[in-house]
Structure 1
Amino acid sequence: MTRGKLYIVASPIGNLGDVTYRATEVLKDAAMLLSEDTRETDKLLKYLHLEKPQISYRDQNHKRILPEILKMLENGKDLALISDSGTPLISDPGFNLVRELVIKDFEVISIPGPSSVIAALSISGLPTDKFTFLGFLPKSLAARKELLLAYGTLESTLIIFESPFRVVKLLEEIYGTLGDRYVCVVNDLTKLHEKITRGHVASVLEKKAELKPKGEYIVMVAKKGFTYGLK
């Protein structure tokens, strides 16, 4: 019997209309969906007029449901891993599963599509030739400062995820650690109330009241010395 495949399916990061044709076909044909949050996947399935069985897959339940996943694959069933939004594994669950399947020589196939990291970088106005994705920074203030100092020396744009309740604090930490760098702050990318704020950190902090405490934030930090011609 031919073993099943695991498809890594990128999903919309806000606007459901961004789902790709290939992703739709894979979701339609998969025997089971491994969803980070079945409620979020339900919204996409409803938009696509699909009804599919799902298993909630998170890092926390990886060991418990891995045997079931392996059994389905061994029985020739194709599975699709899908996160709440964007490309799975990028600050989302899936690494442990993919590593396990690669070791066991299962076929893992990428179904590319939306990625908030690339989408945000493409509209930032910051250098795109070299960039470093840091995901969510550690909770410890000392660890955050150490990480910013280490990566702040690179000749690349830094990309950081942050919650709406800590984004102002992050900008203050960037200013205190790296100085008045040029930044681009993106909120609710591709959604109805998408907001993009560009400028030096100090000027962005002067308008911190405009950084609403809702949605997800992506903060991009320019390499030292980059000004984009702004005074």
Structure 2
Amino acid sequence: MNADKRYQIFSRLQAENPNPETELEYSNAFELLIAVMLSAQATDVSVNKATRKLYPIANTPEAILALGVDGVKQYIKTIGLFNTKAENVIKTCRILIEEHNSEVPQTRAELEKLPGVGRKTANVVLNTAFGQPAMAVDTHIFRVANRTRIAPGKTVLEVERKLLRHVPKPFLVDAHHWLILHGRYVCTARKPRCGACVIEDLCEYKQKTELE
């Protein structure tokens, strides 16, 4: 996969979707942070259902902290691992209040100090809330990067670093969203929809399929 091919790939993804966005629903950096924390091993749809009920009641660190662990659980009990997530949300809110003036920090190091926030979550927040060129590699991005050969790697971190190095600069901020959406709806896990793919002729996947 050469630089010219990568440029063409992202040009086409951009043309198809000029302003890609996360499918998580949020109105500020704090709401996004909590939503991404809740989304681990859960679908965006299930998280949105929960936060639609939670955020009108509590959408600040102070308001969620006031709910307490049991109060948060009542809103997120339909999401996987909700017990642990509720505890992490409360701990995170307390730290944001005590150490960050209730603001979401804008560095990976500070974000990763928050309970329940790993590298992937930090990267989503940095990229989506603050427009930083961070690459949150989930299962979709890992699959697409390897299948297409845009940035093949054996580990999530290797793929992340290769993407940051190889994605052309004009596309770097939005690349994370394009790749996730492409993996979610076109380059699907069991059977990629190659016949419906705008980058099929540029992709280096050897076992291409026909569109059903």
* Structure 1 and Structure 2 fold alike (TM over 0.5): no
TM superposition score normalised by structure 2:
0.25
Structure with a larger share of its residues in strand: 1
Larger CA Rg, structure 1 vs 2 = 1
Larger helix percent = 2
